Structure formats: structure tokens, C-alpha cells
Structure 1
Amino acid sequence: MSTASLADHYRALTDEQLERLFAARPDLAVPVPSDFSVLAQRAHSRMSVARALDHLDQFHLEVLDALRLVGGPEHRADRKKAFDLLSGASDFSAHRAIDHLVTLGLAWPDGESVLRLPTVLDEVASRYPAGLGRPVAALVQDDRTEDLTPILAALHLPSVPQPEATALIAEAFADPVRLSALLDACPPEATAMLERLANGGNPVGAIRDVRRPADPTDADTPLRWLLVHSLLVPLDASTVELPREVGLALRGDAPLGPLHPTEPTPTATTAAPTDRVDGAGSGQVLEVLRQTATLLDACAAEPPPVLKAGGLGVRDLRRLARTAGIDEPTAALLLDVAHEAGLLARTPDADPTWLPTAAFDVWQATPAERRWAQLAGAWLAMARMPALVGTRDERDRAVAALSAEVTRSAAPTLRAQILQVLVEYPGPLSEPDVISVLDWRAPRRGGRRREEVIREQLAEATTLGIVAQTTLTRYGRALVTGEDPVPLLTDLLPEPVDHVLVQADLTVVAPGPLEPALAAEMALVADVESAGGATVYRVTPESVRRALDAGRSGSDLQTFFATRSRTPVPQSLSYLVDDVARRHGGLRVGAAGSYLRTDDPALLATVLADRRCVELNLRRIADTVLVSSASVQRVVDLLRGCGYVPAAEDAGGGLVLGWPEARRAPGRSNRGAPRGASEISLDHDYLAGAVVAVRRGDEAARAARRAPVLSQQGAPDPGAALGVLQQAARDRARVWLSYVDAHGGVTARVVRPVSVGAGYLRAEDDRTETEHTFALHRVVSAIRTQE
């Protein structure tokens, strides 16, 4: 590659063509290159070329392979020969693909019929273009003369030393008639072996015990026959490679194999009714919101510790999943999404734990459609793949949820590509359909787990309600295309209800999603028995006691059920509330460690005699008072576990009532997905400015290379320099200014004088668009440039 010739090619492009180059490869314009030489070097760096190849579809890669095959080691491809290899596609498709490669800077013209290719392609692209091996000359050129002697004899060539032997073998393989006759003479088993390597996409094969016969007459097996005729060339004791000439001959009229100039069309299916798809998706939306809230409430009730290596432990993940009634992969997904949405964070303590943030409280009070939009938007942009949780890393350790090991910078781009396929093909698509389209659009992306990752991302989109019945929902489509999904989702979700239905069996049915305030009250006074479109709660003595501990009185609970229930409150519920309220606080617990007191000596005697309370070390200090060395909370918890209904009291003897303050972690700002320069979107103003800047910088750099001699023998003439500067300031002309810098060296630059006076020169540097001030006594000389 000649960097200078490439720079000249860029220099000859129009502004519009340069803008298209920068738009297609934004990494070239960020930051703006100083001149065209820098642009050429950047454009053909290893990383930049690899990034450009990652954005090419299958057909463009096939066209690039054709250019590489024709270009050879000189990387100079003849257009006509390349079009001959691309005969399986239309001329229009081939021309358009080559033009696009030129636009990207992956090829550039060198005369009328030749295209130059960057040499770094051999490092970042496939070693075997189009699945063809290296030329036979490249495979045998390092072999010893005695190793090539049997090959020369088998091919009926004169015995000559190296490198003449390599030249004779290459000449023989370059003769189509001779090579065709040699292939016709192959044993049937050998022909089948060659065809597998020629059409399998990889010309290298693994074969046991590769040994080339020392005499053509010793070729007693098909493999040995191929080796002695150099139709297969050994690379080592167990690997062989098919020469390029043999692969091209076996492929016949399709030298590159099957070409794919157009995107594969997914299998036609009958589109599912939109209302059915949206209905299924909206039901899943409500389920995801409930599951997320349950997971975060469980984290607040019993905060799981942060592992030393970061993340959430396997046991804690299993416990949280069991609490929410979901499987562990779904729990890992929702926790990661909540973390990305700023609803969950680690505490800054010395022993950090995972806790909901204050934003979780705000999130719970917002409408359902906005809660979902926050979660879905976080999933779409997060650079994490929760499906990796539970897999093994390179050290054979299990990957933990919420850990850094699940971070993948390419995750947002891959999600966008998958969902974009569903946007373009609105009918139900199977996973193989999506995989086939993405395999054509970006063959180099995804790695070895490509198909598995696509399936995982589709499953996550379905879990979140973005996709239903393998089709994008209407609000999911709005989310993917950058529109606001909230209005569409609002019309699909049921209105929050402000009432419940109390049943005679102490169950309470919520006939739909409850208002936030009512949902919070129901979570306090009852336990969820089954969730779904209609949530079923059950009122138990423990749930009533929980409400009383939070500061509700028995009359408050009776009033709540009477006003919120559309059905009559059964007597069994009223009796339960009255009974628990009457017994609540019958025992008082204080600090002694702690103490128990009551107005009922018989009740105190019962507790003292209860064997289940032995570990509290209770002792009587009065007829109505017991003391314990255990903490207040421990005494309360154990007594409640034994069936008693104690209540804590403060130092003044008053009941300690009130719902425990929710524990929260400090809030965290939403972090956008890290994106490389290839995902940067540059607006038109930036592109135009970059073109102007690189042209101006290139002009200054070229002018610097043609700089005149600014310092001459003898003393400088400050008066002459001052006159040139004053005239240039009046004419707004540019001058070559030579001055003594801060280090005592003489520096030269092109400037446009603005004013001269008071011992200073103010001048503009057109290249950097900045203004500088120079002391006149440091100016050595000034020479007008040739405008």
C-alpha cells in the first residue's frame, strides 16, 4: 500500500464524497484528522479496517474476496478479472458493491482498470478468500528439492532443484487442460475428498498420518495419490491444504461458490391479528412489572450481599427467584434491567449489599405504562447480556448476576439489529428466519455463539413484552423506532381499579391492577396468594399483625375493608381483625437487654413456662415483668413464632408503631451503553466541518513542506519583517512567519495578520481557526505566501 497514493485519492474526492466516507466510517472523522496523509493512515489501520468489514453484508464480503483473489500479493486487482469471478451475480449488483467498497476506502482506483487494496486486509479478513487455499507455488516454495522430486516425477516434469521446481509445478497447475486431465485421473475416493475441501468453505483438512510418498509408484491409497501429485499439500503431520488452482477447477462455473447478492426472504407466514399480539404483550407487561417490584421488595427485606468479585451470589439469586415465583434466568434478567434503570444499586458500605434506590419508590408511584417504558428502554440500551449468568468463564467459574462478566459492548447494537429485522418483516418470524437475515447482513458479527445469542435476545424481548407470538407489538415497534410507546401502551393496559372484592374465605380479589396507594395498603394487610390478571390476596393473623405493627388500628382496618370492598365484609374477617387487635400489645417488650411486661400475670406465667422460650433466658422481676438478655427484636420475633402477639414499647411505655423505614441504596445515574466510534452518528454539520478542516489542514501541511528559507545569513532585518506584516494585515493576506519560540528555537507557521502595534502581532491560524499573539522582538522574518 502506498499511503501517499491513497492520500492523493482522498485529496481528489469531492466534498460530498468525503462526507459519505466519514458518514460510512465515523471513526475516521473522530477526532478530525489533521490532513489527508493522517486520514489515509487512519483509514487503513488494522482496527479501522476490521470495524469497516464488520458492517459489510455477505455479498460485499464476497465481492471483496473476488478482489483479493485477483489482486494477489501485490494487492492490485484488475476490474475485468474480478467481474469474471462474479459472473454468478448481475453486473449492476457487482458494480454497485465495488463502488460501495471504494466509498468505504477498502479499495481505491489506480488507473482505469485497476483497484488497489489495503495490505492489512490479509491480517483482519479471512486467510482463505472465498474458502480457497493459497496458490500451489506459495505452498511448496519452502519445500526441499528432495521433497519435490516425487511430485515432479508424478507430474511428468523434469527433475530440477529449487526454486525451479516450484516454478514448474506452478506452471503445470496454471494450465487448465493439464490440471483438468490430472483431476480426471483421480481415483473416485480422492475426487470426493477434494470436492469436500473445495466446497466446504475451508480448504484445510485434518487427516491422520500425512506422509508424501518418496516414489509415485508407492501411492497405494487415494490420499497418498493426491499428496504425490500435489493436489493436496501437507502443512504438518496431520493437516493438508487444497491449492487454490485445484479449488477453482473443481468449482467450475462458480469459482467463488454460491453468491448471495440479495438478502434472504423469511418464510412467508400468516400475520397474527394485531389486537391479539398487543393483548398478549400487554399481559406480559403487567407480569414483568409485578415480578420486578417483588424482586426489589425482596432485596429491601433481606438485602443480598455483594460478592467480593462483584455481582450476586447463586444462593441469593435462587432465593429471590423463589420469592418472586419465577425461574433464575428471568430473575437475573429483571435484576440487571432494574440495575441499569437505576432502581437497584450496591450500597457504599464496607460490606456492600444490593438495595433498591430511592428511584424505586418514585417508579412504583408512576403509571404502569411509564414504568414499563423505563425498564424496556434500559434493556434496549444496556451493554449487558444477562443470559450469560450461570455459564462458565475462561477460569471455569460460574458467571454471577449483576457482575461485570456479563458486560458486552456489542449488546446494544446486536439487540437493535435483531429488533430491526422484526420491524422490517411485520409477520411472525421464526428464530431461523431472523438468524438467516442477520447472517447475511453482518456475517462477521456475533462470534461462535451467534445463533444462541440471537435466541437469547428474542427470549428476553418476549419476557419483557416487547415481542409477543414472535411478532413485535405496536408499542414495541414504537420503542425500537425511537417513538414514544407510552400512548400506545396506555390504550392497551386496563385502568387501575380503586376497589377489591372480599370473600368469605378471607381472600381478597383485586379485579385488575390496583391504584398505587391501594396496592401498597393491600401489600401491608394481606399476602399475595396468586398473581395474574386478577390478583388474589389472603388475610391472615400474621398479615393483620403486620398492619397493626405499622401503626394501623383495628378500627382503621375495619374501615379500610368496608370502604374499599365492593362486596360485604364477612363476619369472619371482622372477627379476625378484632381478635388480633385485642391481643396485639398484650405483651410489651423493652430493653434490659429487653423486658416483657403485661397486666395479665397468668399470661406472663404461661410465657415463662413455655419451653420454646428457654433460649431467651427469661426471669421474673415482678408479678407482671420478665427480663431477658436477648435484644428487643429477637424477643419479639421468637414470641411471635411461638404464637404470641407481643408489641414493642419505647422508653416512655408507648407502643412502637409504624411501618419500618424502607432501606435504600444511594441513587445512580443511568449509564448509556458504551459505543465504539463505529456506532457514532455524525450530523451533517459535523461532516461538513470535518471536510473543511481536513482540507485546510492538508493545505497547510503541504505548504509547510514547500516552506521558503526563512532565516538567511547575517543579522535579521526586523524593519523589513514589520513592513511585510503591516501590509499583510491591511490586505488580509497570509504570510510565512518565522519567530523564536519559548525554547529558543526558530519556528515557522502560516498566519494571517490581524493587527500590528504596541510591540505585538495578533494573527489568525487558518488551520486551527485560533488567534495567536506574538512579540515583535521575537519575529525573525516574514514572507508573503503565494495565494
Structure 2
Amino acid sequence: MATTLADHLRSRSDAELGDLLRLRPDLVVPAPTDLTALAARAQSRVSTARALDDLDEFTLRVLDAARLSRDPADGRTSVDAVLAMASAPDGGVDTGPVHAAVDRLRARCLLYGPAERLLVAGGVDEASPPYPAGLGRPAADLDQRVARLCADPALLRRTLLSAPPAARAVLDRLAAGPPVGTVGNGAAGRNPTSHDPGGGAGPAAGQPTADGVSPVRWLVEAGLLAVVTDVPATAAGQAVELPREIGLLLRRDTGPLGVLRPDPPRITVTEREPKVVDSTGAGQAMEIVRNTGALLDALSAEPVPLLRAGGVGIRELRRLARVVGVPESLAGLLVEVGYAAGLLGEADAPASRNPATVDQHLLPTGGYDRWSTEPLARRWEQLAEAWLAMTRSPGLIGQRDDKDRLITPRSPEVERAGAPTVRRTLLAVLAGLAPGSVPGADDVLTLLGWQTPRRSRGRDELHREVLDEAGQLGLTGLGALTGYGRLLLDDDGNASRVGSDLSVDHDPLGVLETGHGHRGEASAVERALDALLPAPVDHFLVQADLTVVVPGPPEPTLTAELELVAEPESAGAASVHRVTPASIRRSLDAGYSAGELHELFARRSRTPVPQGLTYLIDDSARTHGGLRAGSAAGYLRSDDEALLTEVLADRRLVGLSLRRLAPTVLVTVVPPGRLVEALRQVGYAPTAEDGAGAALRRQPRVRRAPLRHPVTLRASDPFAAPKLTGSRVEALVEQLRRGEAAARVLRRAPAPVRVANGQPVDGLAAVQAHSQALAVLQQAVRDKALVWVGYVDAHGAPASRLVRPVSIGAGYLRAEDDRTETLHTFALQRVTAAVPHD
């Protein structure tokens, strides 16, 4: 009969072991050598806590029932005892859910053994709250006086009936859990709540009884509360605890475990048309991509300095929000998501002599240039994937930390390692509803508190922030999860979902695991979103007032052209731009000629080109390049002598120190770049040229941070469990079986061999020396005798084998296994021990 978890795992079939690995994939990081190592890892505090985090409220209560019903002698319980503990005076819950909960616990090896002799796995008590189901310890473990009172049921009932109302209110609160509190050093007593360990129990707890004694002190003196002696007293007073027997008596109306909810709470939803939900989300997705591009353009034009303590200053955040035209909270979200998507990065700032200045700037990376040319749906998908995977909580931006300082974007205070799990868990609740179902936020939090109570406790505010961020990003529309949002979640967790069909592995090497590695092909998410978005337009409408209306999202090439020939005025589904003399001059500086500009507007415009735009292009082109600037330190030349005379006489240009060298040439000590800018500021239109007299095409110079890769789910959580495919699970189970067979052989080996391979053995203080092992092997070669050889295999795992040595030479031992008639070769440096077979 199995007495340990390792023995229980040895009795499991390969399919059951595979199910355990799928349910608890963290057990294979790194891969255990044998079932003993697997059992030890499964009972560790960290792994047990992860397994408990995935359980719902009812299953955790059933586990508490198993903990409470254990026999103090051998620690065993039974399914019948758990059923009895889960029962209530009116008959309790249906036995079906209890059996299903026990099966879930046994499948995860949190309970193991036969139904009549169940054992709670080691590590469960350590990873669980110290008070199962909110009940205290037995009275015999707390105080003998309280134990004597609990041993007399009649006296206990009379004492409870005599309790004052204020004291009875304290008892009822402690009976609901947790069962601990404090009794003050003075007249008043306090008892905590689950949310405020040092808080008061409410008005009734602090009101003295008729004789002036506090309720908590009255209960202590009556023997209904036990003073906890193993906890030192604090300034608040001495700790007290409600004994388990009294807690069970006070729960006579609800049952030993309290109110049980086998089924998840129902959610009240508002039905919306799925198409309307998807269209609303798609519109928000367009907006978030546009705002991200605007923010990155603003950072490209003027990089943001980073604080020495880390993060973006609040003043810079407000400037970015004002430039993009969004609230500060959304600007912070865009900065965090853009950084996680690899579109933003840090770059060294120019050196400064002032040590108080910052030494890094935040600006777009080279990945932004590629991202800006991709289809809109693909750009959104990259942002959404980064948001799901990033270990940052943008909802904290704008709040204050423990030192009353504002939390800013990219600051260390925004880091939250559990953020990806919170997002996926919360969105999974929305994905479990029918398409178009809009739940209330309170109902979602209630359901989440039932599904994963350990993870959800105290995170209501974080969950509300995640729901708001999902709406801002376009994952949800009108409060319901969109169709393409469901595809994004399915793709993110498809390979790790428990219960999915993993028997057939279509990608054993993991090459096609994500669907996003080949950017030449559109993913399912991209195709679904692209079908909802308006088609990109390759034209615009030019109006008489020189405004350019783009009736839809522009193509990347059209966007690049508009950046040169027009100034943006408003954005949205239909963006508006305006052609100005400055924008025409900018396009001429970039290399366009007047004829090319006329051709551009004629080709792109679906309306007749206004005559005013034609005149503006011709006038700007006629005056553009009338002056030529070069490097002497700087010079001006022009065929128009009168124009040079006018420039030389202009008092606004006295600071340039212009001097005429020839009727058509002026020189200055100012570099050409500053010379051109100074002339333009006073109304002239010079053009820069190189040393050969050819006009220079001026493209806007932008700085870029080093290229960064987007954050992925695996990179965001170094402790994330791997995605176990069907073939991988089978390989792991096979490896465990081989390791178990090797361990079984090792357990039969002599004591020195077992010690050499790391197994504890009584009576041996040291490992056999390597020279002694070689002497034994050499003697065995001469005698042709059997020898137990302990060695380290190619995977670094200890092993042993009973062999007959044949020869030793060149650093190798050659030996024959009589059972398999196989010749083995061992490297002598890997041999740890050798003992003759007795």
C-alpha cells in the first residue's frame, strides 16, 4: 500500500502521470530525474502554492475539509469524512460536486491514496492559510481551561447563552473567520477582520458590557476565547483565538465549512449584437494605433529625458498628453505598451557638464519605422500582445508610492510580476460568456473571486483597471470581449489549456507554436480585425481652403507623402490636413520639384486641385533656391545681385557678419545650417548646396534608440510554466520511467555506490575515493568478477550498473553486462564508486 507520494506516483499509469504534468507544468522546470524527485518537487511550497492558486473556492473548501478531518495519529482521512465535513444540518450539498472536487485534488496530487485512506500532500499546510475554513485550533492545543469547558457540552451551551450581545457579536464574527483577535491591555479589546489584521471588530466589539468589561475580555474570562501564548503580545494587546469546537458549534446553521457554493455565481449580462461589439472595439483599436503613432512621432521630434531615479517626469508626461491630445493616464499606458512592444527604448543623451542632468532619453527604436509601415491590424496585434505579456501595471501611474511620491511611466514602482496572469485570468472570464454579453464589473469580480480566490484577494482595484485598459485598447467593445479578442486569447493559451486535445502534436519542435513568427502571413487575429476595419485609402480630397481630407485610414505611402506636403489638423476615421507655405517648402527641401508636387496632388486628389494650391506651389518653387548656402565657414551666392544687396543691408541679419566677396557671393563665419535657418526666420527661402554646387535634399533627421524585441509571455515571466504539447508530455513521462528504473537499480547497489551517487546511507561518513574505485576495477579485470559501478551519465544524473570489467585503458573502462550481453564503455572520470558484487 502506498505510504508516500513517490510510491503513489509509481503506481500511476503513464496517462495519469501525463495528466499531472499538464495540470502542473511547473513540475518539469527543470525536468525531474525520477519519480522521487517529482514527488519532492510536487510537495514543495512554491509548486503547491501554484497548484492551489488555480483552484476555485469550493475545491479549496473541500481541501480544508480534508485537512480538518485528518486523524491526529496518522494524518489520514477518507472521502466519507470529507463528505461529512461538507454536510450541513439540512442535508448539505450534493455529493456529486464534493466527489468532483476530490477528483480534482487527487489529479493534482494535493490528495493521494485510496478513498478510505486519503493523505494530504506535504506542502499543502505550509502553502495554505493556517486556519482551515476559518476555524481555529482544537481547544486542547490552546488552553486546558477552555478545553475543559468544550468537553462539557451542556456547560458550553449555557456559557454561550449567557454571553452579552456585544460579546456574542464578537463570537459570530470570529466564527466566520479568521478566528484570531487581540485583547487589549486596558478595558477595551479588539479583534481583526480578514482585510484588516489589526482593525477593530466593529461597534459592538468595542462597546463595554453592563459591568464595564470589554466584550473580548469577558469572553476570555468566560473561557470562550483562549489567550494564545505562542504569539508574543504587541502594543495592541495579547492575541486570542476562538477554539475549533466553539466555532463548529456557532456554525450549526451553516455547516462546519460555512456557506458552500459548489457552482460559480451567476452573472447578470446585457445582450449586445456581436457585430456592434466588434465594430466598437475595432474603432477603438484604430484610435489606439493612431494615438500610439502620434506619441512616438512626438518622442521622435523631441525625446523625453529620463529621471535619474527612473521613469518619465510628470511634467514630460503632461506635455506628451497635451501634444497627442489624450488624458495623462492614457499617455502613460501608451508609453508602457510602446516600450513593451519594442517601439520605445532608451538612448544615451548628449554629455553634459551638469551632474544633475539626466543621462538618457526615451525615444523610438528602429522597430518603430518598420511598425509604422505595416497594416493597421498587425500594428494593433503587436500592441495587444505586448499589453497581455508585459509585467507592468499602468493603472498605478499617477498614484503615490509609500514615500508619497507620484508614480510615473517607466518607473520601477510600476513593475508587477503577476500582471500578465491577472490580465489573462480576467479576460478569460469575459471569454467564458456568450459573444455580445456585457457583464457588470462587480459581477465579474465576484465570479473571479470564486474561480481563483487566492489570486483575486485584495485585487479588485487592479481588476477594474485591467477592464478599463482592455476597453481603451479595443480588446473589448461596449464592455464585451470582441471576436478578435477571443482569437488573441485562444492563440495565447491554446497550447497550455488543460483538457484540450493534445494527443496529436502538429508541431513537435515548437517552430509554429505561436502563429506570429512569420510576419509575411496574416494571423487569425489580424484577419478578423482587418475585416472590421475600413479599407486603407490611397487618395484624399483637396478643398478650396487648402485643407486635405483623407476619408479613411491612409496607406503607408500616402501617410509618408502627407507628412511632407501638409500639416495635420485633426485625426480620426477621416483625418484633416492643411497645405501651408512651410509644408510646401519642406517638400521642396526633401527633393520634390514643382512639377512633381503638381503630379502628386493631381494623382492623389479625387477633387479638382484648387487654383490657390497651384499658385502656392509655383510661387514657393520660384523663390525656393534663389539663394545658395555653402561652407566656407558659410557663404551665400545668387545670380540676383539686388537680392544679395538686400540681404547684406538687412539689419535683422547683422549677427551673421555677412561680407561681399563678389557681386554674386557673400560669406559669413556662421555654419551653413545656422545661416539657412537665420535667413528663413526673416522671410527668405535659401537652399543648401554641397561643395560641387548641387542642391542638398534635406530629410528630417530623427534619432532612434537601439532596437528592442517586443515583450512576449515567456520573456515577461521567467517562472512561467512551459506549454506542454502531447509529444513533449510523452517524452517527459518516458524520461521519468527511465530515471525511475535507474534509481531502482541504484537502490539495490551497495552502500558505497549509493553514497557516491548522492543517496544518504546510515553508517557511511565519506564517499569512496576515486583511487580505491580504480583499484577495485583493476582487480575485477584480473579476476573477471562482477562489480557494481557507480557513475554519472551523459545527462549529469547519477546511475549504477552491475557489470563484468573487460579492460581499462586510455581513460575508459570497458565492461560487459551479463544480463543484456551488452558491452558498455565508461569514462573513468565519470566513475564515482566501484564495489565487488557479493
Same fold (TM over 0.5): yes
The one-letter code of the counterpart of 1:180 is: R
Contact 2:22 2:724 in 1 (8 A): yes
Equivalents in 2 of 1:658, 1:221: separation in Å? 84
Distance change in 2, residues 1:525/1:207 (3 Å): farther
Q: CA deviation at 1:509?
A: 0.7
Equivalents in 2 of 1:487, 1:183: separation in Å? 68
Pick the aligned partner of 2:164 from 182, 187, 190: 187
Contact 1:219 1:225 in 2 (8 A): no
The one-letter code of the counterpart of 2:477 is: A
Per-residue Cα deviation, 1:482-505 (whole angstroms, up to 9, x for no partner): 271222223222222222111111
The one-letter code of the counterpart of 1:481 is: D
Pick the aligned partner of 1:123 from 123, 126, 132: 126
The one-letter code of the counterpart of 1:750 is: R
Moved more, 12-21 or 701-710: 701-710
Contact 1:762 1:774 in 2 (8 A): no
Moved more, 71-80 or 362-371: 71-80
The one-letter code of the counterpart of 1:454 is: H
Within-5 A mapping of 1:380-779 = 380-394=388-402, 396-403=404-411, 405-426=413-434, 427-446=437-456, 448=458, 450-482=459-491, 484-591=524-631, 593-599=633-639, 613=653, 616=656, 627-673=667-713, 674-675=716-717, 679-708=721-750, 736-738=787-789, 749-750=800-801, 761=814, 772-773=825-826
Equivalents in 1 of 2:651, 2:824: separation in Å? 90
Moved more, 33-42 or 233-242: 233-242
The one-letter code of the counterpart of 2:289 is: L
Q: CA deviation at 1:507?
A: 0.5
SS at match of 1:509: strand
Contact 2:150 2:156 in 1 (8 A): yes
Equivalents in 1 of 2:818, 2:134: separation in Å? 53
Equivalents in 2 of 1:394, 1:212: separation in Å? 31
Equivalents in 2 of 1:251, 1:577: separation in Å? 87
Equivalents in 2 of 1:391, 1:765: separation in Å? 73
Q: CA deviation at 1:28?
A: 2.2
The one-letter code of the counterpart of 1:633 is: G
The one-letter code of the counterpart of 1:568 is: P
Contact 1:75 1:119 in 2 (8 A): no
Equivalents in 2 of 1:394, 1:709: separation in Å? 57
Contact 1:4 1:37 in 2 (8 A): no
Contact 1:761 1:774 in 2 (8 A): no
Moved more, 28-37 or 527-536: 28-37
The one-letter code of the counterpart of 2:556 is: P
Q: CA deviation at 1:568?
A: 1.4
Pick the aligned partner of 2:180 from 170, 192, 204: 204
Per-residue Cα deviation, 1:20-69 (whole angstroms, up to 9, x for no partner): 22222222233332333333322222212111111111111111222223
Equivalents in 1 of 2:137, 2:657: separation in Å? 86
Q: CA deviation at 1:443?
A: 1.1
Matching residue of 2:289: 289
Matching residue of 2:65: 66
Normalised to the residue count of structure 2, the TM-score between the two structures is: 0.78
Q: CA deviation at 1:667?
A: 2.5
Equivalents in 2 of 1:718, 1:490: separation in Å? 75
Equivalents in 1 of 2:331, 2:804: separation in Å? 67
Q: CA deviation at 1:467?
A: 1.1
Pick the aligned partner of 1:354 from 352, 362, 385: 362
Contact 2:537 2:553 in 1 (8 A): yes
Distance change in 2, residues 1:752/1:430 (3 Å): farther
Within-5 A mapping of 1:8-23 = 8-23=7-22
Q: CA deviation at 1:184?
A: 0.6
Distance change in 2, residues 1:685/1:310 (3 Å): same
The one-letter code of the counterpart of 2:484 is: Y
Contact 2:136 2:247 in 1 (8 A): yes
The one-letter code of the counterpart of 1:685 is: S
Pick the aligned partner of 1:98 from 102, 124, 131: 102
SS at match of 2:548: strand
Q: CA deviation at 1:98?
A: 1.9
Distance change in 2, residues 1:196/1:615 (3 Å): farther
Equivalents in 1 of 2:55, 2:669: separation in Å? 73
Q: How many residues align?
A: 734
Distance change in 2, residues 1:588/1:177 (3 Å): farther
Structure 2, unpaired ranges of 5+: 190-208, 351-358, 492-522, 754-771, 793-797
Moved more, 228-237 or 414-423: 228-237
Distance change in 2, residues 1:139/1:630 (3 Å): farther
Equivalents in 1 of 2:416, 2:132: separation in Å? 29
The one-letter code of the counterpart of 2:387 is: W
The one-letter code of the counterpart of 1:314 is: I
Distance change in 2, residues 1:589/1:770 (3 Å): farther
The share of aligned pairs that are identical, in percent, is: 45
The one-letter code of the counterpart of 1:707 is: A
Equivalents in 1 of 2:548, 2:533: separation in Å? 22
Equivalents in 1 of 2:422, 2:58: separation in Å? 20
Equivalents in 1 of 2:489, 2:593: separation in Å? 49
Please report the RMSD computed on the Cα atoms of aligned residues, expressed in angstroms: 3.9
Per-residue Cα deviation, 1:482-538 (whole angstroms, up to 9, x for no partner): 271222223222222222111111101111122221221111110111111111111
Per-residue Cα deviation, 1:210-247 (whole angstroms, up to 9, x for no partner): 5599xx99774544422311323456443544333332
Moved more, 88-97 or 171-180: 171-180
Moved more, 665-674 or 50-59: 665-674
Moved more, 245-254 or 44-53: 245-254
Distance change in 2, residues 1:401/1:594 (3 Å): farther
Within-5 A mapping of 1:318-337 = 318-337=318-337
Contact 1:68 1:129 in 2 (8 A): yes
Matching residue of 2:247: 247
The one-letter code of the counterpart of 1:500 is: F
Contact 1:22 1:28 in 2 (8 A): yes
Equivalents in 1 of 2:115, 2:371: separation in Å? 64
Q: CA deviation at 1:197?
A: 2.7
Per-residue Cα deviation, 1:266-319 (whole angstroms, up to 9, x for no partner): 11322x112212221222222222222222222222233444455444333333
Distance change in 2, residues 1:72/1:573 (3 Å): farther
The one-letter code of the counterpart of 2:68 is: L
Contact 2:342 2:708 in 1 (8 A): yes
Matching residue of 1:227: 220
Contact 1:133 1:243 in 2 (8 A): yes
Moved more, 715-724 or 335-344: 715-724
Moved more, 507-516 or 306-315: 306-315
Contact 2:656 2:668 in 1 (8 A): yes
Q: CA deviation at 1:397?
A: 4.4
Pick the aligned partner of 2:154 from 159, 162, 177: 177
Normalised to the residue count of structure 1, the TM-score between the two structures is: 0.83
The one-letter code of the counterpart of 1:443 is: P
Q: CA deviation at 1:470?
A: 0.9
Q: CA deviation at 1:170?
A: 0.4
Equivalents in 1 of 2:532, 2:188: separation in Å? 73
Equivalents in 1 of 2:8, 2:683: separation in Å? 88
Equivalents in 1 of 2:400, 2:818: separation in Å? 57
Matching residue of 2:205: none
Within-5 A mapping of 1:147-186 = 166=144, 168-186=145-163
Distance change in 2, residues 1:596/1:780 (3 Å): closer
